[in-house]
Amino acid sequence: MQDPALWAPDQAYLERPSAARIYDYLLGGAHNFASDRAVAEQALAVKPDLRVQAVANRDFLGRAVEYLTGVGIRQFLDIGSGIPTVGSVHEVARRADADARVVYVDRDAVAVAHAQAIVGDDPRVGVVKEDLRHPDRILGHPRTRAVLDLEQPVAVLLVAILHVIPESDDPYGIVAQLHRAVTPGSYLVVAHGTADGAPEEARQLEALSRSTDTPMTMRSRPDVTRLLRGWDLIEPGVVWAPQWHPRPDAVVPDDPARSGNLVAIGRK
């Protein structure tokens, strides 16, 4: 694959760390720049479990997509998708149905360029450059409309994205707007960073994140539950990432709070 630096708009872009590319680095990916790696290493010094958290989050995404295909969902809108590397939504969904359709949405230009390179000209996968703060633009985008039939149930994936939406941008209102827009039988998947397990480390991570283009706002379990207001929660509700429908051969860690993420799936 082409060197990601060749896709960057300018040198200033390379020097501005991105949450999508930091996440890719934590997962062991190659789609990141020196600025991203530097912030990631600073974050690891504050919270050594950060790679554990990234992997737990990615594993949850895979299990969530498996669950959703198991209940008949064949359309996925992955907002804040980052870089769809190994274990991406369309790969997992197509294990159940080769015709599964996915739209990846991210505001990071390089993440979008990578996604477009990865999916190529696949007519059942779309890539949209847009921001979660504008759900109407996402839902009305020509590529979204070309790939997804929004008159049919769809799974909206908000995995590791809502914690970069500050209170001033009304994340609760954004989720409510998505709820109104999708048809009954649709699902919402949420994974959200929290300070519930390690408040001091979380405070330091929030401070460090202010050097990136996506500063973080950690939220508590009641706040994450509030984000899902109006959706019927699938059991076991809002839990730590490793606790949500672990695979039969999985060993749930003694301290699941190390995952740093609260997760849930709701149905309309």
Cα 98 from chain centroid (whole Å): 22
The first and second tokens of residue 17, run together, are: 């760390």
* pLDDT(21) > 60: yes
The answer as to whether 2 is a domain residue is no
Looking at residue 73, which CATH number applies to its domain? 3.40.50.150
Cα 254 from chain centroid (whole Å): 25
> What is the total count of domains within the chain?
1
pLDDT band at 11; cut points 50, 70, 90: very low
* pLDDT(17) > 70: yes
The answer as to whether 30 is a domain residue is no
The answer as to whether 73 is a domain residue is yes
* pLDDT(32) > 70: yes
pLDDT band at 29; cut points 50, 70, 90: confident
> Percent of the chain scored above 70 by pLDDT?
90
The answer as to whether 40 is a domain residue is no
Q: Read off the pLDDT of each residue in 91-119 and give the average, rounded to a whole number.
A: 90
* pLDDT(9) > 50: no
Please give the Cα distance from 195 to 56 (Å, whole number).
Answer: 16
* pLDDT(258) > 90: no
Q: Read off the pLDDT of each residue in 165-192 and give the average, rounded to a whole number.
A: 97
Helix (H/G/I), strand (E/B), else coil: 68: helix
Does the pTM surpass 0.95? The reply is: no
Sign of the CA dihedral running 158, 184, 127, 67: positive
The answer as to whether 228 is a domain residue is yes
pLDDT band at 12; cut points 50, 70, 90: very low
Could you report how far apart the first and last alpha carbons of the chain are, in Å? 39
The answer as to whether 164 is a domain residue is yes
* pLDDT(162) > 70: yes
The answer as to whether 19 is a domain residue is no
* Average predicted confidence (pLDDT) for the chain: 87
Structural domain boundaries enclosing 209:
49-267
The answer as to whether 191 is a domain residue is yes
